[in-house]
Amino acid sequence: MRTLFISLSVICMISFTSCATRVVANPSSVTVVKTAPKHYKTVIVKGKRYYFWNGKHYRKTRRGCVFVKV
């Protein structure tokens, strides 16, 4: 009975661990625009605010605006 309990506990622990990995983009490949141009448009996509100009969507960060794929 004890062996059954231990083996079931191990199986539960293994099944509850996450296999997801965190993927971080190379920071040197990210282009940060310090100030948005005067002719940008604010758009809402899926409840989030983005800035649109020059045919691309950007989001605001502390360092400026960063290009994102919507």
pTM of the model: 0.52
Amino acid at 16: F
For a pLDDT cut of 70, what percent of the chain falls above it?
71
Is residue 60 assigned to a domain?
yes
pLDDT value at residue 44: 92
Taking the C-alpha atoms of residue 41 and residue 2, their distance in angstroms, rounded to an integer, is 65
Is residue 3 assigned to a domain?
no
Is residue 8 assigned to a domain?
no
For a pLDDT cut of 90, what percent of the chain falls above it?
10
The beta strands (E) that lie in the chain are given as: 32-33, 41-45, 48-53, 56-60, 65-68
| Residues 8-33 pLDDT 10s | 776 656 665 555 555 555 666 677 88
pLDDT value at residue 56: 86
Is residue 32 assigned to a domain?
yes
Q: Domains in the chain: how many in total?
A: 1
pLDDT value at residue 25: 56
